[in-house]
Each structure stands twice: as structure tokens, then as C-alpha cells.
Structure 1
Amino acid sequence: MRKFIKTVSILLLLSLLSVGVGGYIYLKSLNPSDVSLMNRSNENKNSETIQKINILVLGVDETSQTDPKRSDTMMVLSYDPNTHKAYILSIPRDTMIKLPKYGTQKINAAYPIGGPQLAMDTVSQLIGEPIDYYVKIGYEGFIQLVDDLGGVEMNVPMDMNYDDNAGNLHIHLKKGVQLLDGEKALQLVRFRHGYAEQDLERVKVQRDFLLAMFEKAKNPSTLLKIHRILKNINQYVETNIPPVTMLKYADYLLKLDKDNIKTATLPGTPQYIDGIAYYITNPQEVRQFMANLNGDIDNKTNEMTVNKNIKIEVLNGGGIPGAAAKTADLLKQQGYDVVKIGNVVGTTYNTTQIINRTDDKKVVEDLKKILKNAIVVEDTKGSNSADITIILGKNI
């Protein structure tokens, strides 16, 4: 999944543009008339309504002559300057869609079939929100970008060891908080084979890295390297976002706090259909999920504070790939503290179970609304460190 690496540079780009000086340096390097236009835009800022912006990030490998150039990475970066809130939404590349004249396809086929515009239109229809712009990102400058930043501090969630001599991929990282240079950061975001829920757990780690990179890019020391970094970014980024639009959002992005950035994966279920792996979404579930994703964090403060007092472990007992990580993602969006994700070994569950060790009936009822087909099992004498264990069955 080396193509994912391409996505990190866009968040870095937007972060750098949130540093006013860096943005003006970038704009001046393009065209003096753009600077004049930006000055007029700033003069009118008080009378102008600045809107929420949705950007589709496409990670496309165009280095191979035989590669169909599918967008192996798709993310929606959304930012609302009126609330100073944002989200990063990962869209699995196997998501099933239907394209006119082409029938059933995976969503990563939209880009090679119809270019960025079809990819934007397809994602917009899928999530029920307009996509304003796209960014297609090159991969080759990733290592240099991280090194230019002076490395990125990241908590590596586990020992990572993997060697693929044919693909010239060698990953060897130790678990724990550490400063990753470009080479090690590359290994982190490419690793996947050691996760219990391979793809879904991997994208979570990748999003965590984006947030860590965002924080590093906002460091004032970044300004000292602005020319070199922007030159590197410009070499590998293609976008239809006008420079003036980027800078219009710069002052607002500067105020964006990491705690106001939600991260999520589009809800769905991995399935094999006629021997082909797809990620199946439910339109109603997606609409509800997007409504929650766009919800006001401040309005949910009390609910989320209560939820965070409940420690939950999520175990995959139904054998459905990715189910535990997907459910954990959904629970975290609701403010729950998911302390463990894993698999049940030796037993297959047909029915999802909520094993309750608390006296909080409201939390259990709320969980039943999320896990509609689940049954509740009271475990008052349980010794498990988690307050609630969710065992996902085949009926999830």
C-alpha cells in the first residue's frame, strides 16, 4: 500500500499554508497578480461568507507502464472554518459502486475511467456531500518531506517486521514513541501484514501519522524551511484548488486544533462476490454516519465525557474481515474508549453479544442502537479489565 504515502503531503501542504508567512511566500512565487487578488480578498473577508470545503485526495501510482493507474488511496479532507472543525475520511479502495456504461466496479476504478472529475462525482454520490476539489499526490517526495520537517514523532503501535525482496520492501520498526525520519515513516505507513484487521487497522495508523505530521508542520520552526519544503511539495502535488482559495482558508486553518479533527473510515462490510473482494456499504448507514461525522463536537461534550468513562473491548467472533476495526472506529466516533481490538480464537459466534459488567443501563441501550442485532449478556462477576466486551457475530 505504498500509494497511501502520497496522501500525507496534502495535509502537510494545507498545514504549511495555514502558516501565514509560508502561504504568502508560496503565492508570491506564483504570480504577482495573485498577490493583489489575495489582498483584495483579505480586505473583503469580513463581508464574505467562507464555506465548508471538501477535498478528495487521490493517491495514484503512475510510475508503471502496465499499471492501470487506479486510485489505491482515496480520502476526503473536510474543513469547516465556521466551526473550526475538520475530518479525515478514508474510503476503502474495494468499495463497490456502479458506474454508467461500466456496471459494478470498485471505487478505485473511477479515476482511470473518468479522471479526477468522475472520482469526485462518485465519492460525492457515495457520501451524500459535494466534493469541491481534488488533489492527486505524487509519492516520490515523501521521504524528503518528512526529513525536511526534521522527522515526525509517532507512537508505533507494535513491533513491525516484514521483508519482501521482490518488492524491495523492508520494514523493521520497534514498538513505542519515537522520532521517525523519512525512511522509517515510509515503513510505518506501508506496513500491514501484522495487524489482526489488516486494512482497517492500517488506515487508522496512517491517519494518526497524518495528525502527527499536521502538528509538526504547524511548528514555528517550519517557517525556516518553508522554501525547500514548498518546492518539494509543488513537485509532487497536482490539484485544481486555486492558490487564492488555499490562502483564503489559511488564517482559519491556523486556528485548527488537532482535537477538532475527526478521523474515520467509511462504514461497510468486506465481502467476496463471485470470487472478487468488495467493501459493501449501506446507503442509509452511510448517511447516518456522515450526519454523526458532521455533528457538532461541542453539543456532544456531556455524552462523550460519559462514554469515555466506559472501557470497551471489541472482538471479532464472526470471522468477517475488518469487522472489529470498523466497529471500533464507529464507537470511537461516538466517544467511547476502545481499549482493545482482537479476534475470538476457536469459536464462531452467529449472534453479536454485548457483555456488560457495569450498572450503566443507558450505555448498554445506546450500544444496542448501534449494534442493532446484538443481545446483552450480564457479567456482574466478571474479572475482565474492560467494562464492556463486544463479541461481533455473523449477524453484525
Structure 2
Amino acid sequence: MDNSRSTRHKKIKKKKRGLRRFFTILVLLVIAAGAYVYFQYKQGLSEALDGAGKEKAANYDFNGKLPDNGQINVLLLGSDSRGEKHSRTDSILIAHYNQNTHEPKLVSIMRDSYVDVPGHGKQKINAAFAFGGPELLRKTIEENFGININYYSIVDFKGFPKIVDTIAPDGIRVNVPHDMSSGIDMTLHKGEQTLHGKQLLGYVRFRHDNMSDFGRVQRQQEVLGKLKDKATEINNVVKLPKILGMTAPYIDTNIDTKTMLILGKDVITGQAKNVDKLRIPLDGTFENERIPGIGAVLAVDLEKNKAALQQFLSSSK
């Protein structure tokens, strides 16, 4: 009996030593991983700033309701002059993600859409940002289309090339439909080719052709979809802290860290499905008009577009 108890005691002591070693190794791995993440984040931040420093824009007031059904709507805005309270946003999108079905969706709203802006009457929808920032734009979308926006994210286009070159160092393959030069400080020649950061920015911003903003919106959706696909490549899992560091100076957002990690994890690990896209207004649901004091607008059939947008965001494949 004594020998039996002694043997059991030795086994218990050996098991405890093994557990201590395991937890010691685990703690060291966590510390090492934390140090790596911090270093990569700081490296990305340093590269984004080019060592010169950049003042991060202050967050806007925003009263979007928190998501309660696993479906997240982010008001995604593109701007060259982030932080200027009276500028109009260059691009207006709703990035939608269903955490239950892992379906990402992207809605582009034409900035010349003529809608009711609360407190300001009928205006182009991008004027709402100039009058009251992302909060008034959120109210405008809710009043006209019945969509609840949970968060906002304003992207400074100055950081776009750096972000692209980090996520897709080998570039993005696109088919340039015709020569592009006006308004983008470069010349892109017609044909299928691989574009890198600054070239890709020119590609998504060009609008001086017969398609005007419609072509620009189509190219923006194309490139965002391809960047999402590039982000799922295995090497970008390791790059994620650096990518976050590079984006930080160029994004003003109220998305909390937990939500950011949920979205980032699903994209990077490949859980998120292919991006489904929609443009508002739909073809055949608007007229080109000119309003005195406002200029050229898209007179939108709000009921048809409201129904189409709600159906698009609520449906599953």
C-alpha cells in the first residue's frame, strides 16, 4: 500500500511539473506573440507616416444604434480632406456584414442622388456630410432608405496607396477600359494590366468620361472586392498587425476593437464569402435633372430604391 501511495504521489508531482512547464511555455508564447504584434503594428504605423508624423482627426459625434441581430452596417466614406467640417465626401458606401452567414455586401450610393436632408430640405446626398458630418449623413440614409447604420469609417485617400501595396505587394489585375489621365495626375493606358498603389488610386478616382461617377463607382466596388480577396491570402494573416498600423493614421472611425477584430478575423481567415454588390440608384429608377442653386442631380425614385436596398441587405444567398 505504501509503495502504491508513493507511486501515485510521484505521478501527481510529475503531472504538476508538466502542467507548470506547459503554462510557462504558453505564457512565453503569448508574450512573444504580443511583442510581435506590437512591433509589427508600430512598424506599419511608422511606414504610413514616413517618419514625419500626422495628426489623427478627431472622431465625430455619431448616434448609430449598436447591432443586435449579428448584422453590421458601416458607413464607409472616402475623402481627400478628412477633418474639414465643410467638405463634401468623395465616396459614399455602406459596408454590410452578416456575422451569422458570413456574407459581406457593399452598397455604393451615388453622391449626386437628390434626397431629403433633415433640416436642410432637398439636397445632393453628399451635402449632408458637409452640413453635419457622418451623423447627418446617417440620419439622411435612415430617413430616405430606412436603413440603420451602426458605425462610420472615413478613409483618407492619401493612405490608400500604402494600404494597397501592403495587402497586395504584387499589385491588382484590372482591365482599364480606355486611356485615363484627366484629374488623376497620371496616365493609365487602355488594356489589361497590373496596377499598384498610386496607379490603383487613379483608376478608382477617374470620372472624366461618358460614364462619369457611374464608372468610378463600378471601379471602386471592383477594387474593394479584389482587395478583400487578397487579404485572405495566408501571408496577410501574418501581416495583419502591420496592415492595421498602416491604416490607423488614415482612418477616422468609431468601430470598437471587438467588432474590428470580428470583421478582420473573418476576412483574413477566409470565412467571409464573396462580396455581393449593389449601386443606388438602380438603373431605370432616376432621371438626370438640373436644380437652380444646386446643379446637376439624380432625381431618384426613392420608393423603388428603398425597397431594393432593404431587400438586398436582408436577403441571403
Q: Is TM > 0.5 for Structure 1 vs Structure 2? A: yes
Pair 94,229 (structure 1): closer, same or farther in 2 beyond 3 Å: same
Pair 58,113 (structure 1): closer, same or farther in 2 beyond 3 Å: same
Deviations 1:353-377 (CA, angstroms, capped at 9, x unpaired): xxxxxxxxxxxxxxxxxxxxxxxxx
Q: Is the 8 A contact 1:99 1:105 kept in 2?
A: yes
**More helix as a share of residues:** 2
Partner of 1:83, secondary structure, is coil
2:181 is the counterpart of 1:162: yes
1:273 corresponds, among 271, 291, 297, to 291
1:70 corresponds, among 67, 72, 88, to 88
Pair 297,116 (structure 1): closer, same or farther in 2 beyond 3 Å: closer
1:174 corresponds, among 150, 173, 190, to 190
Deviations 1:143-181 (CA, angstroms, capped at 9, x unpaired): 1112222043222242323245xxx722223311x3211
How far apart in 1 are the matches of 2:238 and 2:100? Answer: 30
2:211 is the counterpart of 1:193: no
Pair 107,179 (structure 1): closer, same or farther in 2 beyond 3 Å: same
Deviations 1:303-336 (CA, angstroms, capped at 9, x unpaired): xxxxxxxxxxxxxxxxxxxxxxxxxxxxxxxxxx
Pair 249,161 (structure 1): closer, same or farther in 2 beyond 3 Å: closer
Aligned AA for 2:161?
I
Percent identity (aligned): 28
Q: Is the 8 A contact 1:90 1:203 kept in 2?
A: yes
- Where structure 1 has 5 or more consecutive residues not aligned to the other structure, the ranges are 1-20, 31-48, 299-396
2:164 corresponds, among 136, 146, 154, to 146
- Corresponding residue of 1:79: 97
Deviations 1:51-73 (CA, angstroms, capped at 9, x unpaired): 100000122332798x9311121
Q: Is the 8 A contact 1:173 1:184 kept in 2?
A: no
How far apart in 1 are the matches of 2:266 and 2:246? Answer: 24
The ranges of structure 1 where at least 4 consecutive aligned residues each deviate by more than 6 angstroms after the TM superposition are none
2:183 is the counterpart of 1:183: no
Q: Is the 8 A contact 2:118 2:136 kept in 1?
A: no
The structure, 1 or 2, with the larger RCO (C-alpha pairs under 8 Å, 6+ apart) is 2
How far apart in 1 are the matches of 2:307 and 2:198? Answer: 39
Aligned AA for 2:313?
N
How far apart in 2 are the matches of 1:243 and 1:25? Answer: 15
- Corresponding residue of 1:5: none
- Corresponding residue of 1:128: 146
Pair 118,25 (structure 1): closer, same or farther in 2 beyond 3 Å: farther
Pair 221,179 (structure 1): closer, same or farther in 2 beyond 3 Å: farther
| CA positional deviation for 1:203 | 0.8
- Corresponding residue of 1:326: none
1:211 corresponds, among 212, 218, 225, to 225
Partner of 1:71, secondary structure, is coil
How far apart in 1 are the matches of 2:83 and 2:265? Answer: 39
How far apart in 2 are the matches of 1:297 and 1:231? Answer: 33
Partner of 1:170, secondary structure, is coil
Pair 100,290 (structure 1): closer, same or farther in 2 beyond 3 Å: closer
Aligned AA for 1:236?
Y
Question: Which deviates further from its counterpart, 204-213 or 215-224?
Answer: 215-224
- Corresponding residue of 1:375: none
How far apart in 2 are the matches of 1:95 and 1:157? Answer: 26
Partner of 1:160, secondary structure, is coil
| CA positional deviation for 1:99 | 3.0
1:234 corresponds, among 245, 248, 265, to 248
Question: Which deviates further from its counterpart, 279-288 or 153-162?
Answer: 153-162
Aligned AA for 2:110?
P
| CA positional deviation for 1:263 | 0.9
Partner of 2:173, secondary structure, is strand
